[in-house]
Structure 1
Amino acid sequence: MKILSSILILPLVFLLNHNIMAQDKLSYLALGDSYTIGEAVDVAKTWPKVLSDNLKNRGIELQLDRMIATTGWTTDELLEAIEEDSVIKNTEYNLVSLLIGVNNQYRGYGTQQYEEEFELLLRKAIKLAGKKVDRVFVVSIPDYGVTPFAIESNKNTDLIAKELHEYNSIAKNISDQYGVKFFDITPISLKAIWDEDFIAKDKLHPSAKMYAEWVEYIAPGVYQLLKD
């Protein structure tokens, strides 16, 4: 009888452990534009996916559940996409990231519009994270002015840098007001000036190498958010 009891208990213990592991898996929602979906790189090399893999290696079972992001999106278009997404309206995520604004600058939108809409997006991100500000983080806009695309297109690279600095300052200030972690990856994007391997084949977007460096910088901070 004791042997039979042991045989019955072992599968039960296994099932309990399996359920605990399943419950520990954290869901991750990434909001943004082409930088979030990783235009011109393999989906496995996008920074949200690399981040989730990195955290798994650190012992946190983070699952990249959704990306609400499309190349070319501005803040208003991302807001509209979130409003129209029927899936996330009743979904709560363990982690939400936000990276948006480069297309506002590219299209010449004013900083006031960015300020207003970025705050709305951040509030929505916090809501999607169960109103937990420590489960949301913001990533700065990289400087595309240093890319071959910008140079070959005769873009005013100094103006791009100046305006993106203004956008990033707005995003950081609003993030700080809400107590949301802000990661400034813009200095990393400047490495493309002397290393072409940091740029994808389209000569505009970051390469897998650059996204990997973003994650090296972001991952320790996100790890702390999820462990606390």
Structure 2
Amino acid sequence: MKLQVYLLPILIIAGLSCSNAPTNSQEQSTLKVFTPLETIEEETIPKGLDTIKYLALGDSYTIGQSVCGTCRFPEILKRDILKNIDSISNFELSIIAQTGWTTTNLINAIENENPNSHFNLATLLIGVNNEFQNKPFSLYQSEFPQLVNIAITKAKGNKDNVIVVSIPDYAYTPFGQGNPNISANLNTYNTFAKNYCDTNNISYVYITDITRLGIENPNLVASDGLHPSELAYSKFVQRLLPVAIEKLKKE
């Protein structure tokens, strides 16, 4: 299937980068991708849905620090969704994410960008920089629910259109050097997020265990020695895809 892809930069927002973490000066915080399809494959989504609009919210793990522009998980998820779609004429991917962003940074960026509220699907992966920058955990307890509700609002006000993704564990990288305190801290963040999602019937996809194989399988870590690789992101998508497809079937 031959795809024509048009990238339309919408807004470049300077994020707060982790002081010891690699950054990419050419990285864009927001983009939209429109994909006209020339062929279609098996039917899994109703014919009435001819356009998919997907909003990905997050930080370096969403923008794909240190991997190629089509190697980050939202792009891989987009491609895999398209393989399972019938009668789709357009796919619009919008990403609001930046390396180093905390929950506060993401809230401010969404407010500044002010995307519409017509997305069929939204993902949220945020929190690692709250931990890395030693922000009070109470900040995450306050702002994570706020971000979930923002994601719901942008996804047509329907919580069934939202997927929360667990925070990867950077302890299992050359940068993290197996530091058990990092893992313990991130367990606290992920447990809070999962409990919130469970209580409010919001989809939560756990991918942290994949990143905890990073030391025994270096191919799961990007060349910067800190972020997930394309291989790791593809494994994230293996878990995200069936959840996303099920949601889109209901649209």
Shared fold (TM-score, shorter chain, > 0.5): yes
User: CA deviation digits over 1:42-97, x for unaligned, max 9?
Assistant: 111110010011011011647242100000000001001111114x1x44211111
Q: Does 1:194 align with 2:219?
A: no
* Structure 2 unaligned blocks of 5 or more: 1-45
Deviation at 1:149, TM superposition (A): 1.0
- Counterparts of 1:218 and 1:23, CA distance in 2: 20
Q: Does structure 2 retain, via aligned residues, the 8 Å contact 1:75–1:117?
A: yes
Q: Residue 205 of structure 1: CA displacement?
A: 0.3
**Counterpart in 2 of 1:182?**
204
- Asked which structure has the greater CA Rg, the reply is 1
Question: 1-side partners of 2:49 and 2:156: how far apart?
Answer: 17
Amino acid at match of 1:101: G
Task: Show CA shifts across 1:91-140 (max 9, x none).
Answer: 42111110000000001112211011000000000000111111000000
Q: CA offset at residue 22 of structure 1?
A: 9.1
* Residue 84 in structure 1 maps to residue 112 in structure 2: yes
The residue that corresponds to 1:36 in the other structure is 62
Runs of 4+ in 1 over 6 A off after TM superposition: none
Percent identity for Structure 1 against Structure 2: 38
What's 2:175 paired with?
149
Q: Cα RMSD (Å) of the superposition? A: 1.7
Question: Does the 8 Å contact 1:49/1:64 carry over to 2?
Answer: no
Residue 178 (structure 1) shift: 2.3
User: Gaps (5+ residues) in structure 1?
Assistant: 1-19
Moved more, 20-29 or 183-192: 20-29
Partners of 1:64 and 1:45 in 2: CA distance: 17
Give the corresponding residue for 2:43.
none
Q: Would you say the 8 A contact 2:121–2:244 is kept in 1?
A: no
How many residues matched?
Answer: 203
- Deviation of 1:23 after TM superposition, in Å, equals 5.3
**Residue in 1 aligned with 2:119?**
93
**Match for 2:135 among 94, 100, 109?**
109
Alpha-carbon offset, residue 177 of structure 1: 2.4
Larger fraction in helix: 1
CA distance in 2, matches of 1:204, 1:84: 29
- TM superposition shift of 1:21: 6.9
Q: How has the CA–CA distance of structure 1 residues 64 and 171 changed in structure 2, closer, same or farther, with 3 Å as cutoff?
A: farther
Q: Which structure dedicates a bigger proportion of its chain to strand?
A: 2
Secondary structure of the equivalent of 1:193?
coil
